[in-house]
Amino acid sequence: MIIENKNILITGVALGGIGEAIMNKLIKQNNQVLITSLKMSGDRFPGIKSFSSDCTTEKGIDRLNEWAKTECGSIDIIINAIGGSLASKNPLEINPAFFDRVIKVNLTSAILLTQMATKVMTTGAIVHIVSSSAYEASLDKLSYGVAKAGLVYYIRSMAQVLAPQIRINGVSPTYVFTDRHNRELKKKSEKTGVPFEDLSSQRITKQLLQYPLLPEDLNEMIEFAAMTPLMTGKILDASLGRIF
């Protein structure tokens, strides 16, 4: 399914990330695309309407809401790519401040954006990027997994609230080789002496389809989650057959 001639808001757009990949595809399909992230400069994505907003706060969401309405009146689709584990932590060393921050980035932002959708959408769809961490016990990413598991529950619950006017679905990828993740692997390689290629291979050993998942590989599934009239409250698995 192809998204065409729609007003679309994409959040969490970062260079070399999932948000940028779907943005690049959608702007070629005659859509009006608005983008936002926490730190967004005007020259970061030239020619595209962008706005800097903290979507973990009600104030930030209110500002984003007013900007979106000013730019295009109403929104047809929201694609939420905000997220991140922020850091690896021993589960016994997670303090409340860190846990709260991870929850805000990955779950609170999704909740606030979904609530905002009812103000800028009459009909349409919301797609949240989830994670295989919602289903797999990854102890050094415990806070992240809890947040994403909460997002899964939230999507399933809110489908009952928003239907039939607004559909809400999620796309749940395994490890995505974004520019940021590649930089992290290179730093780890330099620090440990383990070749970058070996560290990359370790990320895909549990996948039945053993190749690196790139941001643009998710585009088709994101479009389907946004456009199909046949489902809401569902999480599409993009884990390349990952064995949990």
Tens of pLDDT, residues 182-227: 999 999 999 999 999 999 999 999 899 999 999 999 999 999 999 9
Instruction: Kindly state the tokens that stand for 25.
Output: 């595809």
Residue carrying structure tokens 């983008």: 35
Contact (Cβ atoms closer than 8 angstroms) between residue 86 and residue 97: no
* Residue pLDDT, tens place only, 67-96: 999 999 899 999 999 999 998 899 999 999
The Cα angle at residue 138 between residues 186 and 39, in degrees rounded to 5 = 55
Closest by CA to 223, choosing from 28, 12, 14, is 28
Q: What mean pLDDT is predicted for residues 95-117?
A: 97
CA atoms within a 13 Å half-sphere pointing along the CA-CB vector of 222: 26
Question: pLDDT > 90: what percent of the chain?
Answer: 90
d(CA 15, CA 80): 15
Q: What share of the chain is helix, strand, coil (3-state, %, to 5)?
A: 50, 15, 35
pLDDT in the model for residue 41: 65
pLDDT in the model for residue 42: 63
Domains in the chain, CATH or no CATH each = 7-174+214-238 (3.40.50.720)
pTM above 0.85, yes or no: yes
DSSP code of residue 213 = B
Amino acid at 55: C
d(CA 121, CA 117): 6
Whether residue 173 has a cis bond before it, omega within 30° of 0? no
* Residue pLDDT, tens place only, 2-44: 999 999 999 999 888 999 999 999 999 999 999 999 987 667 7
SS3 annotation, 48-59: CEEEECCCCCHH
d(CA 29, CA 241): 30
